[in-house]
Amino acid sequence: MKSIFLRIYGGMLLTLVLVAALGVLTLHLVNEVRGERYRDDLARGTFRLMADELQPMDEVDRKRALLQWSRLMGIPLKLVRLDSLGMQGRDRARLMNEQVLVEPSGAHLVKVFTQVSLPDGLILAGEVEQVSEQLARATIYMLMDELRRYPVSEQPYHLARIVRDKRFGYDVHLKRLKEIDLDDDQSRRVEEGDTVLALGKNGDSIRVVAGIVDTPWILEMGPIYQMNPYPPHLLLLIAAVGLSLIGLTLYLLVSRLEQRLRSLEAAASRIARGSLDARVEVRGADSVGRLAGAFNHMAEQIQRLIMVQRELVRAVSHELRTPVARLRFGLEMIASAETDAARQKYLEGMDGDIQDLDQLVDEMLTYARLEQGSPALTYQPLELGALVEQVVAEIAPLRREVQVSCEAGALVPFDQGSWIEAEPRYLHRALQNLLSNALRYAESRVRVSYRVSLDRCQVDVEDDGPGVPEDRRERLFTPFFRVDDSRTRVTGGHGLGLSIVRRIIHWHGGRASVDRSEALGGARFTLAWPRRQVVKE
C-alpha cells in the first residue's frame, strides 16, 4: 500500500503547486483588471469634464484653458489627433465612443485619453502619477466653476446630473458644513474657501473638501480609496477555490481507489457465494493493480484446486469400487472354500487387492500434496546418470522379458559429468513412474537416455509398445486418464503416475511431454528441466 500513499501524496503535492501557481496568476490577472478600472474611475470624471469644457472654445481659449488646467493639476495636458496615436481595435473604438482610455506608462504613470467632440477629432491626453492634492483641487475648482452657473438652490440637482453624466468613479456631494466630520482647523479653512484633503479613519482613503464662496454649500469629493492589491474578500475567494480544487483532486484520487477496492470486494463476495470464475480487472502497475493480479491468481488457484478435489473425489470413488468388490468377493469365497489350498488362494488374491489399495492411496496422497502447492523441496547436487541407472536396476526386474537399456547422451561441459541440482526423492519417483509406465506397455524393449547441457538436462524414456494417439497426448498427464481403459485394467495402474510426474517436473521448473519414438516406434516420454535450481522464497 506504500505506493498508493506515495501516489496520493504526489498527486496532492502536484495539486498544491498547481493551485498555488493558479492562485498567483489569478491574483495578478484580477489585479490588472482592478487596476485598470481603478485608474479609469479616478480619471474618467475629471477628463470628461475638461473635454466638455473645451468643446465651445476656440483654439486660443483651448490653449489657455489647457495651460491653466496643467498648472492646477501639476500634469502636462495637450490635444493630439487620433490618427497620431496609432491606436487600433478596442482602444480606438472606446475613444470614438467618447470614453476615457487609461493606459499604463511606466512604474507609476498612466496616460489618460478622451475624445473632445470637435470636427477635427482631437484627443485630450495627459499623464497622471497618482491622485495628488493638485489633481483633486483642480477637479474641485472645475466642479465649482460649473456649479456657479446655476442658482444656489439648484446646485445640488445640477451636481448630481454632472456626476451622473461624467460618470465619476467616486462620490461627489454638496453638504452643509455641520454635516461633514472635520476638525476645527479644517472647518476654518473650508469656511475660508480653501481646499482640504482629509484622511479616512483607517488611513486607506482620502476626502477632498472645499467650500463654495458666497454659498452655504460645502463640496465633498470622496472618499477615494487606495487600491489594495490583496483585498481580504479576493484572497478568501481564491483560497476557497484552491481548497475546492484540492478537495476535488483528493476526492477523485480516493474515489478511484475506493472504486477499485470495491471491485475487489465484490469479486471476493462472489467467490464466497460459490462463483469461482469471478475475476477483477487489472489496471495499472500500482499496489492495487498488483493486488488485483494476486487476487486473480489466488482465485485461479482456488478454482483449480477445487476442480482437482472434485475430480479426485469422483475418481477415488470409481477406483476404490473395483478392489473393494474383489475383496468382498474374496471374503465370500473364503467362507465357502472347502480346502485350505482354496482359502490360501483367495487370501493371496485379497492381499494383492490390499496392496493395490495401498498403492492407490499412496499415489492419491502424493498427487494431492503436489497439487496443493509446492512441497518442501530440498535441492541437492546429484549425478543424473547414477540416478537413472538406479531406477533402471530397481524397475527392470518387474518384467524380465522386456529388455531395458540405459544410454548417456551429450554431457556439456564434459568434465562436470551429469551432475545437476534436484530433489532426489521426488525426481526418483518421477523416473520410476515413467519407467514403470513404459514397462507396462512395452512389448520387448525399453530405452532410457539422458543428456546434460550447460543449463538444461533431459531424460527420454522410449518403448516399442502401441504408443499414444496424437489426439490424446495433451490429456495423458491429467489424473485418472487412461488411453485404453480395458487394457489398463489388465496391465494395472490407476492413471495417477503420469500426473505425479508432471507435477514433480513442474516444481523443478521443467516440462513433461509425450511424442512418438522414431527409434522404437512406440511412445517417447521426455522430461526437461533446468540444470540448476532457484530456491523460491
Residues forming the active site: 318
**CB 250, CB 14: distance < 8 Å:** no
Give dist(CA 131, CA 136) in Å, integer. 7
Helix axes 340-372, 287-336, angle to 10 degrees: 180
Cell 476656440: give the residue: 58
Torsion of CA 347, 350, 351, 354, to 10 degrees: -160
**CB 27, CB 234: distance < 8 Å:** yes
**Residue 192 is placed in which grid cell?**
475660508
Give dist(CA 125, CA 430) in Å, integer. 104
79 CB neighbour count, 10 Å cutoff: 17
Assign 3-class secondary structure to 252-307: HHHHHHHHHHHHHHHHHHHHHCCCCCCCCCCCCCCHHHHHHHHHHHHHHHHHHHHH
For residue 206, the cross-strand partners are: 199, 224
**Residue 60 is placed in which grid cell?**
486660443
Binning the chain into helix, strand and coil, the percentages to the nearest 5 are: 55, 20, 25
**Residue 174 is placed in which grid cell?**
454638496
For 4, residues 6+ apart whose C-beta sits below 8 A from its C-beta are 257, 286, 287, 288
Give how far Cα 147 sits from Cα of 54, 56, 68, 221, 253, Å.
17, 17, 19, 14, 67
The DSSP symbol for 400 reads T
Give dist(CA 93, CA 99) in Å, integer. 9
The DSSP symbol for 87 reads -
Which long-range contacts link 69-72 to residues 24+ away (Cβ below 8 Å)? 69/138, 69/142, 70/126, 72/134, 72/137, 72/138, 72/141
